[in-house]
């Protein structure tokens, strides 16, 4: 064993000194630590979802059905974990949150660059979100780059085209996903064949539904904590979040439901 191997420990491998020093409450309120930990863990899971999403795109575009299905399964399991974390956050009462809320100042979940990247991966194209990030900032550049790349759905279309389905591949990937009759015909053909492409389509619906479930639990958590007050940092709070609940990431996969 080399000296380098001998010096590696559980703590140093996981960089626990840095991780456990990253919780810095701005008040003496007991519940502020919980609030910080939950949101830091969210950001770690967002990082993993982006990591898995990039792999899923590569596997779809390579036509690797089996491994693409495995990757989606992992992403779905992570989403369930994100939803379950809300149960922990809801052990904090509105009064407990109010006790330190003013210490958050302008900080807001609307500023989560990784979540904006995740939305872009799923197909959202909305340049207005960039206003939350300073000109020239790394966060703004990452989100803009994500909105300029093909989405997960675009990668699914490439996968279907390689399998012989007549899929339109001339979509401008910088524009929002809109229902496409041509794409829907290809999806219906894939569902009719009832093979791996159909399985992947269903898992993509699961992924879309999983994000919707997280959004629903999130908006209900915000409602029970602050009601219809504006969110931290002056954000629109629950009223805005409620408008995102039934907005599918992959509209074609939902449009074909009535014809299956």
List the domain boundaries for the chain: 30-97+151-259
Low-confidence ranges of the chain (pLDDT < 70): 1-6, 105-110, 229-242, 244
Residue 113's pLDDT is what?
95
Into which CATH architecture does domain 30-97+151-259 fall?
Up-down Bundle (1.20)
**Under a CB-based contact definition with an 8 Å cutoff, are residues 249 and 213 in contact?**
no
Residue 253: Cβ-neighbour burial (10 angstroms; 0-12, 13-18, 19+): buried
Are 122 and 248 contacting, i.e. CB atoms less than 8 angstroms apart? Answer: no
How far, in Å, are 80, 128, 183 from residue 147 at the CA level? 25, 12, 21
8 A C-beta contact, residue 212 and residue 196: no
pTM of the model: 0.90
Q: How many CB atoms lie within 10 A of CB 8?
A: 11
Per the listing, tokens 């053909």 go with: 189
Token pair 């703590």 in the structure block, residue = 11
- Rounded Cα distance, 57 and 32, in Å: 38
- Both tokens of 9, joined, read 């420990």
- Report the pLDDT value the prediction gives residue 107, as an integer from 0 to 100: 64
Question: What's the rounded Cα separation, in Å, for the pair 105 and 155?
Answer: 40
Give the DSSP letter string of 177-194: P---HHHHHHHHHHHHHT
């Amino acid at each position: 064993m080399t000296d380098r191997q001998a010096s590696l420990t559980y703590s140093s491998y996981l960089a626990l000194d840095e991780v456990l020093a990253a919780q810095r409450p701005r008040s003496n309120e007991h519940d502020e630590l919980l609030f910080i930990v939950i949101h830091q863990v969210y950001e770690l899971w967002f990082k993993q979802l982006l990591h898995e999403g990039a792999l899923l795109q590569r596997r779809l575009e390579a036509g690797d059905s089996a491994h693409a299905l495995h990757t989606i399964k992992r992403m779905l399991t992570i989403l369930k974990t994100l939803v379950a974390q809300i149960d922990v956050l809801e052990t904090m009462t509105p009064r407990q949150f109010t006790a330190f809320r003013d210490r958050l100042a302008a900080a807001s979940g609307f500023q989560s660059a990784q979540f904006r990247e995740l939305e872009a991966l799923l197909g959202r194209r909305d340049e207005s979100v960039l206003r939350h990030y300073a000109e020239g900032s790394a966060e703004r550049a990452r989100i803009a780059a994500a909105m300029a790349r093909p989405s997960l759905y675009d990668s699914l279309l490439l996968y279907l085209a390689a399998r012989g389905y007549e899929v339109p591949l001339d979509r401008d990937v910088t524009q929002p996903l809109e229902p496409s009759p041509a794409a829907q015909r290809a999806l219906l053909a894939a569902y009719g064949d009832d093979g791996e492409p159909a399985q992947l389509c269903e898992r993509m619906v699961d992924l879309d539904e999983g994000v919707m479930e997280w959004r629903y639990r999130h908006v209900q958590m915000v409602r029970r904590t602050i009601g219809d007050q504006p969110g931290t940092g002056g954000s629109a709070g629950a009223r805005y979040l409620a408008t995102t609940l039934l907005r599918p990431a992959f509209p074609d996969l939902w449009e074909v439901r009535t014809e299956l």
